[in-house]
Structure 1
Amino acid sequence: MTIPFSPPYVDQDIIDEVVDTLQSGWITTGPKVKALEKEVVKLTGCPEALCVNSWTSGAILILKWFGVGPGDEVIVPAYTYSATALSVLHCGATPVMVDVNVDFTIDPDKIKAAITERTKVIMPVDIAGLMCDYGTINDIVNEVAIKKIFKPTSEKQQQLGRILVLSDAAHSVGASYKGIQSGVATDITIFSFHAVKNITTAEGGVICINLPSDFDTAEEYKLMRIWTLNGQTKDAFSKSQSGGWKYDILFAGLKVNMPDLCAAVGLAQIKKYDNNLLLERERVAKQYELFFRQKAWAQLPILEDQNRKSCYHLYPLRINQISEIQRDQMIDFISSLGVAVNVHFIPMPMLTLFKSLDYQISNYPVAFDNYSREISLPIYPQLTTEEIEYVCEAIAQAYQKIMVS
């Protein structure tokens, strides 16, 4: 049996939506993008949602919109995909890495200890579908002492009057924290719609705007939309209308808009997400949980606790009392059985770029421990009961082969 790690979910509804876009004569940013944005608002409850061509470009856009630049600091977890910190570097600012908790999410105590007068943004990262402790994080940025040391250097920073909380929610569309949907737990949330995500547009992402009442959210949406189009006052759809050719460039924006052709894929998926795709992912996760909770050597991920409910983006299984080398040997054996697994993530301080910038993994012991014992299992709606059983047995055989034989 051969089981891929994360194939895209494509059914006839998706094909029909894409064909409809092709036949419409309009394939770049237009009505399908707007329709997808409305569905994101409906799913999350956020006031406004803006589609972009990737999570990374969305993060760069928000950092630039907030005026983050050289000399500024952005707090990020050491345990995340590199895009989290790269977005900061692309703005000329400094990523300040902190360690994570055993549940993979950023440690709020480490956040508080890392705040300086140069801190402009905190970027917590939801991992595997599980949201961070946003209640504590939001309380930190609103503490009187923390607000006193905040030094605004842009109009938006002055308006907010404190550190911005920008949620890297690439993994958490459909998750919740204390009954609050991912998308409205912080000032700004960015989802990824990359090919392997719970909802995909092949490549893409969406910015959920949930700013305090001091901001006019509708106006901020309009401004950010201009940011996605080189600072241009009109998008291509508006310019194509009769008499609509005139435009202006207001500032040096980016070119990070999502095309309708991509939005069509996500539009078809999001319409069946809550009542179909998300439930199917939960089914897979629960079958894994039923099997592995019987194994003393398996450390199961949190799917739900008193505050949080996962959206089952990944199933990050950890193996107790195992070394990084033994974990790698297990992965090799599992692969030989036809099962594709992965590791989420290699902590950023272990990567060449960040090592060259003097980040050292020894400063992030929990991140390294999580990484060294983690194996991400396949989890997607198309998996059958028999395929899940095969994956479980492959993991068990690998443990027996490497750790017992």
Structure 2
Amino acid sequence: MRMRSTFLPFSKPSISEAEIADVAEVLRSGWITTGPKAADFEQAFCKYCGAPDAVALGSATAGMHLLFTALGLGPGDEVITPSLTWVSTVNLTVLAGATPVFADIDRDTLMVSAETVAPLITERTRLIVPVHFAGAAADMEPLRRLASQRGIPLVEDAAHAVGTEYRGDRIGRHGTTIFSFHPIKNITCGEGGMFCSDDPALMERIKRLKFHGLGVDAHDRTVQGRNPQAEVVEPGFKYNLPDMAAVLGLGQLARLEQFIVKRAELARRYLELLAGVEEILPLAVPGWPFRHAWHLFVVRLDVDRAGMDRATFMAELKNRNIGTGIHFRAVHTQKYYRETMGLPQGALPSTEWNSERICSLPLFPDMTREDVDSVVAAIKDVLR
């Protein structure tokens, strides 16, 4: 096999010259913090996903923090979420003084279900946080029904699901949903997030908390800025998204559908070429109606058949100029949570099995079919 002469990262944002020009125009305008572009981005995002209201933030983590604050989560409260996720939700739970409760996942979709969540609900459960994984949609109807029957708030972690659809609707149209615009996501602001909800009272509180607890938003078109007479209604934070990031998000959002088409094409090529590689196990396609946004292309390494562990596999791919990632190492196996929670090995069997084997292969819109071919060729060479 002929090795690649250049390194292929597992992810890379697709930034157009037009988007660079838009950012430069904002920088020259003199208004670079939260202003008209952030408001335009919120409106455009609502139109795209069908959400009745949205607020742009500095990150998805900021959105989760604001939600926890709005719900008043604290000691004695429990938050149900998967362990196979990024650590931010669990970190925020602990920092609030509440207790994370981990639901196991389906072994092949990597997502929780109503069946895995229901047995964990107690009178202390204050929030359920399912995660849409890698661009696929979790089965939300049973989860929403369960949460409604028990009177428990539910928020969808849609950090991986910008552009994902579930039963004909885009994620974000119903309920409360938090999105991420980190550089590896399907669209990026550099850093950023969006909080969507159909709960007007919750949205009013989130908008207030995101900017110092002021009783008005950070930008009011009627006064060309923030009302100088605005009062602090309650203590708040500084989580607003600046215009120079929002304008990038606007440009990216306009290209999101073409990004998804390209990602799906590359994913199909991977699935075709990996079909006969027994050591590599792609994720299963969920059985409910949905559209995959292909944020990540995640596989699992059959370590027994491969005769090597994941670390060796990833290192050998890097030696062949192929970048990879891990999404994710289970939170309860991280040092802090391993020592403080003390969950016994095997407590979350499907989570732990995947945590030791998952590997994200390169997937981003500017890749070519030939790039996919080179990744698969390198995989086959490593496994040889």
Q: TM (normalized to structure 2)? A: 0.93
* Match in the other structure for 2:189: 201
Counterpart CA distance in 1 for 2:340 and 2:60 is 23
Matched position secondary structure for 1:357: helix
Tell me, yes or no, if the aligned pair for 1:288 and 1:388 is still in contact at 8 Å.
yes
Structure 2 residue 364 is the aligned partner of structure 1 residue 380: yes
Residue from 65, 70, 74 that aligns with 2:70: 65
**Bigger mean CA offset, 6-15 vs 329-338:** 6-15
1:46 aligns with 2:28: no
Conserved 8 A contact 1:29-1:235: no
Change (3 A) 1:398 1:94: same
Contact 1:70 1:92 in 2 (8 A): yes
Q: Residue type matched to 2:54 in 1?
A: A
Contact 1:226 1:253 in 2 (8 A): yes
How far is 1:294 from its partner?
A: 2.5
Q: Cα 1:243–1:392, aligned 2, differ >3 Å: closer, same or farther?
A: closer
User: In 1, Cα distance between the equivalents of 2:307 and 2:347?
Assistant: 18
State the match for 1:277 in structure 2: 259
150, 154, 162: which one aligns with 1:165: 154
Look up the equivalent residue of 1:349 and give its one-letter code.
H
Structure 2: segments with no counterpart, 5+ residues: none
AA aligned opposite 2:296: L
- Look up the SS of the partner of 1:42 in the other structure: helix
Q: Deviations over 1:230-269 (max 9, x none)?
A: 1012455449749942221111111111111111111100
In structure 2, what is the Cα distance between the partners aligned to 1:254 and 1:378?
Answer: 36
Distance change in 2, residues 1:93/1:306 (3 Å): closer
C-alpha spacing 1:210/1:242, structure 2 compared with 1 (3 Å):
closer
Q: 1:28 to 1:183 in 2, by over 3 A?
A: same
Q: Deviations over 1:30-55 (max 9, x none)?
A: 11111111121111111111111011
Matched with 2:269 is: 287
Residue by residue over 1:89-113, the C-alpha shift from the partner in whole angstroms, topping out at 9 and shown as x without a partner, is: 2322111112111110013222111
Q: Deviations over 1:197-236 (max 9, x none)?
A: 101111110011123xxxxx2x543332111001012455
Superimposed CA distance per residue, residues 274-329 of structure 1 (whole angstroms, 9 cap, x where no aligned partner): 1x111111111111011112223322223564422211000001123538962221
Are 1:78 and 2:71 matched, yes or no? no
Counterpart for residue 150 of structure 1? none
User: Which residue is equivalent to 2:293?
Assistant: 311
Matched residue of 2:341: which SS?
Answer: coil
Task: Give the secondary-structure state (helix, strand or coil) at the position aligned to 2:346.
Answer: helix
The count of aligned residue pairs is 375
Q: 1:121 aligns with which of 117, 124, 127?
A: 127
Conserved 8 A contact 1:303-1:309: no
CA distance in 1 between counterparts of 2:218 and 2:53 reads: 21
Q: Name the CA distance, whole Å, in 2 between partners of 1:69 and 1:295.
A: 48
Distance 1:324 1:251, change over 3 A: farther
Partner of 1:156: none
Equivalent residues of 1:324, 1:372 under 8 A apart: no
Cα distance in 1, alignment partners of residues 133 and 342 from structure 2: 21
Whether the aligned pair in 1 keeps the contact of 2:113 and 2:143 (CA below 8 Å) is no
Distance in 2 separating the partners of 1:293 and 1:234: 55
C-alpha separation in 1, matches of 2:114 and 2:377: 37
Mapped to 2, the partners of 1:324 and 1:63 lie a distance apart of 44
Q: 2:247 aligns with which of 240, 259, 264?
A: 264
Q: Pick from 274, 299, 302 the counterpart of residue 281 of structure 2.
A: 299
Q: Of the candidates 26, 32, 35, which is equivalent to residue 31 of structure 2? A: 26
Which 5+ residue runs of structure 1 have no aligned equivalent? 148-161, 212-216, 401-405
Q: Helix, strand or coil: the match of 1:362?
A: coil
Report whether the alignment pairs 1:183 with 2:172.
yes
| Counterpart contact for 1:104–1:367, Cα < 8 Å | yes
- Whole-angstrom distance in 2 between the partners of 1:40 and 1:129: 17
Once residues 73 and 114 of structure 1 are traced to their aligned partners in structure 2, the CA distance between those partners, rounded to angstroms, is 10
Q: Are positions 1:14 and 2:3 aligned together?
A: no
1:246 to 229, 232, 240: 229
Amino acid of the residue matched to residue 76 of structure 1? T
Show the counterpart of 1:112: 118
* Residue equivalent to 2:348: 364
